[in-house]
Chains A and B, each alone.
Chain A
Amino acid sequence: MVFSGLFFLTVFLPVSLILYYISKNRTYRNIVLTVMSLVFYAWGEPVYILLLLLTSAFVYIVALLIQQKAGTRSAKIYLITGITVIIAVLVFFKYSGFIAQNLSAIFKFKNPFNDIALPLGLSFYTFTCISYLADVYKKKTEAQRNFLDLLMYISVFFTVTSGPIRRYPDWVADIRSDRETWEKFNYGVHRFIIGLAKKAVIANTAGTLISSFTGTDYSRLSVQGAWIGILLFSLQIYFDFSGYSDMAIGLASMFGFSVNENFNYPYISKSATEFWRRWHITLGGFFRDYVYIPLGGNRKYRIRNLLVVWFLTGLWHGASWNFVIWGLYFFVLLLIEKAFLIKLFEKIPGIFSHIYFLLVMLIGWVLFYHTDLSQAVRYIGVMFGIKAASFSDPILTILFNNNVLFILTAVICTVPLGKFLKQQAEKLEYRLSKGHTDILNGIMIPLFNAALLILSIIFLVGDTYTPFLYFNF
């Protein structure tokens, strides 16, 4: 089940809200949330829900053991054992096919792991578990004694499939408190609708447009098509993922929890370094706190530590070399920027650094998009006129004209213009009414949200229209 599915939106969510809010009893509410989360997970992963339950039980016990032996060598052994087991599971499901494929190419044997499917959300909940064990070890938090409460933390449906990656110390205070308020609920609805619209209206539309521009056969690809195609992909991936994060944050808020932000207008960055402070923030934070700093951080072997982090960041995105190359690409960019580029950019107008960033970002997405590296190289070549079919083609120009307002709107939505306008309108209203009215937040934004919700539903239903399925996604 995905948040942007009609079944989730109009059946699962209403049922969960009713069951949840029907009683004020804290234990009841936590149980409902946990059970609904397991239903949500089992709907998509009916077999491997067992893995989720076993992992949770394992983490529950290991954390208690770590706490019991706190400060001793045993605690460290428990921690290392716990993390090793969890990572081994991840490696088995996510990377054994990839590892075996590479080994089989070298040693010529038949890959026995080809058909292993990655259980839903394993990449995310593995990290949720690792951070919990590490935080218990570092005494940042108490180990949870109530198994159901820990299971809720790990399996809760807002974040189990796609993050944001949570930290237990941020979460624990809300487990037993009277966390729900109308204010949080209202905010949650707002965030959810914004996220839904990002996904349903912008990301899905950009996704269907991409292949109209790039096609599937790069011998027909024009320079113009290559640039517009990768621009559309960068819009699709941002609105898809940040939309999903917004929905997760919104859902959490409806149930009284706060979840960390994952995106902060990444495309306004002026360097790759800045981009990674704004893109998938919780993943970067995880690698910083649980890999980079334990390895020594800035103090010793800095370059090695960075290399490890970026190698893992790339690999985490998928079991394929292109993701590794994509991670290492950022490693190199960050080193160059640190060495001299950022200092240089400080001396020249900001527009140059922004153009530089957009260029390296788009090339990065080409690497990310193509699991076949030779195709990626071919694509980048076409972007710069190498082996391009033509500079532009007439059909493409028409397609572009037919969609230029959509593309422009999507690009504008990547910058905080809406946020800025809202602040200006709030100030204006305050000045005019001396603070006596709240038309903007009380009426206009709610109505705007309702319109966005209806629009999203129209797009979700409209996109089930499938007379021709000719896209390779």
Chain B
Amino acid sequence: MKKLCIGSLLFIIVIFAAGIINIVNPNKPSVSLAENRKLQEKPVFSVSSFFDKSYANNYSAYYSDTFIQRDTLIQYRRAADKFFGFKKNMKIEISKPVNTPSPSALPINTVTYSPSPSPANTCTPATSQTEAPPSPTASVLPTPSPTPKPEYRAASAIEVLKSPFFLVDNNVVATIWAKDESLKKYAMFINELKDSMGEHVNVYSMVIPTAMEYFNLSDMQYITGSQKQMVEDIAQYTNDSVIDVDAYNALFHHCKEYIYYKTDHHWTHLGAYYAYTALMQAMGKEQDIVPLESYVDREVIEGFIGSAYRKTNQDERVLNNPDTLIAYYPLVEYKYIMHKKTGPIEKRLNDLAYVNPNNQYYNMFMSGGNGVYHEFTTENKNGRTILVICDSYGASFVHFLLPHYEKVYIMDTRFYDREYLNNMTIDTFAKSIHADDITTLLYMDSVAYTFNTDALYGLLK
């Protein structure tokens, strides 16, 4: 071989072409909906960022996060997993649960829609749907006292999808192991936020467990961390001046209802409602809670295949088990401005344009929530303002806040944009809108890993 061989030529072509295309590509994404996170922004060069290595690290992260055709390459990478072994749809029976489930106390409703069972459910006779569909007729009281002791959902079998996903009786759930360091970081964030806001602003901390927590996995419980413990740890790490909202128990009391999707990592609108009752309780406004039956106007959308389908390499067991999405309409008139990087734009809360096969139906709430922040002005002239610092769980929560505030601001931290906000930190922003109440609303994954909480804490700096 006296000259460049074909292998070297191909190598040079590939690395040069990839480099050039990446550098000149003008359409770099800033958010990955598939991963539910903000992609690394192009870092701004400064002497200090260069010397503390953050420039180089962020630039490398930015470069790979915005690599050309990244989503497609990720799909290929995940397809490769299929060749790593023999996929057996092995089902593990869960040995007798400690508590046998009592039949749901709620009456099975007889309205026209039928969220479950879907036809596909019949293919797994070993499992049965234990959750009752939401009952629009049942009056839901905010955890009356004395409350009956809540029970976990019974589970009969567990199947391994793709780590960390499991299928528990047709419900896709993800295991979660919180990093203590991350929970502390979250607490640091909210403590410092409260300190900055001062005593006249109420700061609430609301962390939402994921679906897996409420299953009675009996002898298989070891496969996931205890979110009850995580919630307790957070409560311990937060200062007394921060009010912890007991969303954990509010959801626990209703865990046999349809409060989580089977194929998606979000809660249903019903789940969001129960968390709202917990927030109202924490605010000492139990008497103001709007009963669920008031929400008569709603959309019922069948055939929702959630995020878990993509995340489990298109597992058929997920596809064959679609969800029903029920979305309530707000009770009060409101004007909704979504502040996007490109400028403000008026929107509606339930955006049916997203109910199409190319979209995740959950994105119908707040049009996917892809805005730097969201501003709601209601017809209530009570002068009260709340800021919700949240992830995508917030998009289906805002409906229930509208009756109580004149102004509601939703800030999905993944879309925080300093440039758009004139370099404001999040506490400065809260002051600028004269917030009376501030609450976080984050599901457990958003607080369990330092990857997320470091970014959250960074909003204060």
Contact = CB atoms under 8 A, between A and B. Distances in A.
A182 B83 contact: no
B138 interface: no
Contacts of A394: 90, 92
Contact of B53 (A11, A46, A442): A46
A401 B88 contact: yes
Interface in B246-269: none
A40 to B, nearest CB: 11
Interface in A170-224: 182-183, 185-186, 189-190, 192-193, 205, 212, 216, 220
A405 B220 CA distance: 26
A117 to B, nearest CB: 10
Contacts of A458: 73, 76-77, 80
B87 interface: yes
B35 A186 contact: no
B51 A13 contact: no
Interface centre among A13, A47, A406, A464 (most CB of B within 10 A): A464
B63 A402 contact: no
Interface stretch (B4-12, B103-111, B231-239): B4-12
A189 B6 CA distance: 11
A174 B56 CA distance: 32
Task: Give the one of B4, B5, B88, B311 with max A CB within 10 A.
Answer: B5
B451 A402 contact: no
A457 B83 CA distance: 18
Interface stretch (B17-25, B318-326, B350-358, B390-398): B17-25
A407 to B, nearest CB: 8
A199 to B, nearest CB: 15
Interface string A425-450: 00000000000000001110111011
Contact of A457 (B8, B18, B176): B18
B59 to A, nearest CB: 7
B445 interface: yes
Contact of A462 (B63, B77, B87): B77
A296 interface: no
Interface in B180-218: none
A341 interface: no
A470 B449 contact: yes
A116 to B, nearest CB: 15
Nearest to A212: B163
Contacts of A351: none
B73 A461 contact: yes
Contact of A193 (B11, B163, B311): B11
A15 to B, nearest CB: 8
Contact of A465 (B7, B35, B84): B35
Contacts of A6: 18, 60, 63-64, 67
Among A182, A457, A462, the one with the most B-chain Cβ atoms within 10 Å of its Cβ is A462
B160 A402 contact: yes
B229 to A, nearest CB: 13
B18 A395 contact: no
A473 interface: no
B96 interface: no
A93 to B, nearest CB: 16
A446 to B, nearest CB: 3
B120 interface: no
A13 B15 contact: yes
Contacts of B177: 216, 470
Nearest to B159: A398
A457 B86 contact: no
A14 B160 contact: no
B160 A395 contact: yes
Given A394-B92, A405-B84, A5 B64 contact: yes
Given A46-B50, A401-B86, A445-B7, A465 B77 contact: yes
B30 to A, nearest CB: 15
Nearest to B81: A402
A183 B23 contact: no
Contacts of A446: 5-8, 10
Contacts of A460: 64
A403 interface: yes
Contacts of A472: 179
B119 interface: no
Interface in B44-86: 50-51, 53, 56, 59-60, 63-65, 67, 70, 73-74, 76-78, 80-81, 83-86
A192 B34 CA distance: 32
Main secondary structure of the interface of A (DSSP, over half): helix
Contacts of A470: 164, 175-177, 448-449
B15 A469 contact: no
Contacts of A397: 90
A332 interface: no
Contacts of B50: 46
Nearest to B162: A402
A384 interface: no
B16 interface: yes
Contact of A183 (B2, B60, B451): B2
Contact of B1 (A46, A182, A192, A193): A182
B123 interface: no
B424 to A, nearest CB: 28
Nearest to B77: A462
A415 interface: no
B433 interface: no
Given A186-B1, A465-B35, A470-B176, A399 B7 contact: no
Q: Which of A1, A7, A47, A192 has the most CB of B within 10 A?
A: A7
Contacts of A9: 15, 18
A44 B15 contact: no
A47 B49 CA distance: 12
B3 interface: yes
Interface string B406-439: 0000000000000000000000000000000000
B77 to A, nearest CB: 2
B7 A398 contact: no
A182 B5 CA distance: 8
B165 to A, nearest CB: 9
Contacts of A459: 77, 80
B340 interface: no
Contacts of B11: 189, 192-193, 449-450, 453
29 contacts: A1-B56, A5-B60, A6-B67, A10-B16, A11-B22, A11-B63, A13-B15, A14-B12, A15-B19, A17-B12, A47-B51, A185-B8, A190-B7, A220-B222, A401-B90, A402-B84, A405-B83, A446-B7, A449-B7, A455-B80, A457-B14, A457-B18, A461-B73, A462-B77, A464-B65, A464-B74, A467-B34, A467-B36, A468-B445
Interface of B: 1-8, 10-12, 14-16, 18-19, 22-23, 34-37, 50-51, 53, 56, 59-60, 63-65, 67, 70, 73-74, 76-78, 80-81, 83-88, 90, 92, 158, 160, 163-164, 174-177, 179, 220, 222-223, 311, 445, 448-451
Given A401-B90, A461-B67, 8 more contacts: A11-B22, A183-B2, A401-B86, A406-B85, A449-B7, A461-B73, A462-B74, A464-B74
Closest 4 CB pairs of A and B: A462-B77, A446-B7, A10-B19, A406-B84
